[in-house]
Amino acid sequence: MSTILAIETSCDETSVAIVRDRHVLGNVVSSQIAIHQQYGGVVPEVASRQHVETVNGAIAQAFQQAQVHWTDIDGVAATCAPGLVGALLVGLTAGKTLAMLHQKPFLGVHHLEGHIYAAYLSEPDLQPPFLCLLVSGGHTSLIYVKDCGSYEILGQTRDDAAGEAFDKVARLLNLGYPGGPAIDRLSQQGNPHAFALPEGQVSLPQGGYHPYDSSFSGLKTAVLRLTQKLQQSEPELPVADIAASFQLTVAKALTKRAIACALDYGLETIVVGGGVAANSALRHQLQAAAVKHNMRVLFPPLKFCTDNAAMIACAAAEHFNRGHRSQLTSGAQSRMAISDVMKLYER
């Protein structure tokens, strides 16, 4: 069994975790939501500076939680792609420095692979192949997980990611930031069938629609036009009904594509990762649809849906056990396809 210390700073959470294979010994997450709320979204420069101020304390706290010492650590990992470059550099520099100082192997981890491995933290016996629906603020993808480091993107968003759409609609409805939790909470008070909204489809050159790709920009525009129309005729905007209708439309669109993809590729398990995996409507819709097709759907615990270092450490542990190592010259990359994961390692 390998014990990995991992650092995650790809966006606005400073997180440090210690994981022994697929079991979490310590996981510290310092959120910057309160700092960025005044701006209505993440400000990269502010996020980077906050990581610098927070990362050392998070490392110390993770060791305290895990009750281990450096002699127990087999390797050090840090998220190196994709993400905000300035933010990534903070965690990457800290991770490489610790690896050199304590003479431990270093592993650079792909952030999206971490989200896939979040499911392993609650399902340690999970094994590929399976389909991963990865839905977050920056990504909406259907990924065929063939093995550790072996991934094929089968579907993706052509414009806004699902989480991005939630944030933009929440801003439109004056619900604040982050938008996903705000819309989910308010939707509990609304009627999800109050308004018919377009699901969004991606046309194919030869006719018809892409079965797995998604589009949310049209849905976002439809919500804008709906609110403008209602403001002219209604004394008070039915915000809860709009939020619930929007949320259900997104959940149905994601469910439809995930189920179709799993059926077409003969995959019996769907793993959901990313911040939108915490959404209650998506959980209900996908679970209900999966039962009809005798499929298994796995959602990570809520604490592992959003960015955290435990999922990064879990992915790193799997690579470590397979003899994969990264160079200390590894750099931060704002973009990197998950199909290129193995470029991060020497074998």
Can you give the CATH number for the domain in which 222 is found? 3.30.420.40
Same domain, residue pair 163 and 92: no
pLDDT at position 335: 94
Same domain, residue pair 155 and 283: yes
Residue 136, strand partner residues: none
CA dist 257 and 275 (Å) reads: 18
pLDDT at position 147: 97
User: Average pLDDT in the 296-318 region?
Assistant: 96
pLDDT at position 293: 96
Number of domains in the chain: 2
Same domain, residue pair 318 and 291: no
Same domain, residue pair 144 and 289: yes
Residue 4, strand partner residues: 19, 75
Find out whether 12 and 32 touch, Cβ atoms under 8 Å.
Answer: yes
Is pLDDT larger for residue 209 or for residue 327?
327
Same domain, residue pair 319 and 287: no
The tens digit of pLDDT for each residue in 157-198 reads 999 899 999 999 999 999 988 999 999 999 999 999 999 999
Please give the order of strands across the beta sheet that includes 296-298: 150-156, 140-147, 130-135, 269-273, 296-298
Same domain, residue pair 316 and 227: no
Same domain, residue pair 35 and 91: yes
Q: What is the mean pLDDT of the chain?
A: 95
Handedness of CA 206, 212, 216, 219 (dihedral sign): positive
Find out whether 126 and 143 touch, Cβ atoms under 8 Å.
Answer: no
pLDDT at position 200: 86
- How confident is residue 1, by pLDDT bands cut at 50, 70 and 90? confident
Percent of the chain with pLDDT over 70: 100
Q: How far is CA 98 from the centre of its chain?
A: 26
- How confident is residue 334, by pLDDT bands cut at 50, 70 and 90? very high
The tens digit of pLDDT for each residue in 241-281 reads 999 999 999 999 999 999 999 999 999 999 999 999 999 99
User: Average pLDDT in the 90-104 region?
Assistant: 98
User: Average pLDDT in the 71-86 region?
Assistant: 97
User: Average pLDDT in the 56-75 region?
Assistant: 98
Same domain, residue pair 264 and 326: no
Same domain, residue pair 210 and 259: yes
The domain in which residue 12 lies consists of 3-120+305-344
pLDDT at position 297: 98
CA dihedral 228, 229, 230, 231 (to 10 degrees): 50
Least reliable range by pLDDT among 40-49, 85-94, 305-314: 40-49
Parallel, antiparallel or unpaired: strands 75-81 and 106-110: parallel
User: Average pLDDT in the 307-321 region?
Assistant: 98
What are the start-end ranges of the E strands in 219-283? 269-273
Q: Is residue 347 pLDDT above 70, yes or no?
A: no
The tens digit of pLDDT for each residue in 226-240 reads 999 999 988 899 999
Same domain, residue pair 11 and 55: yes
Same domain, residue pair 295 and 314: no
pLDDT at position 40: 82
Same domain, residue pair 204 and 321: no
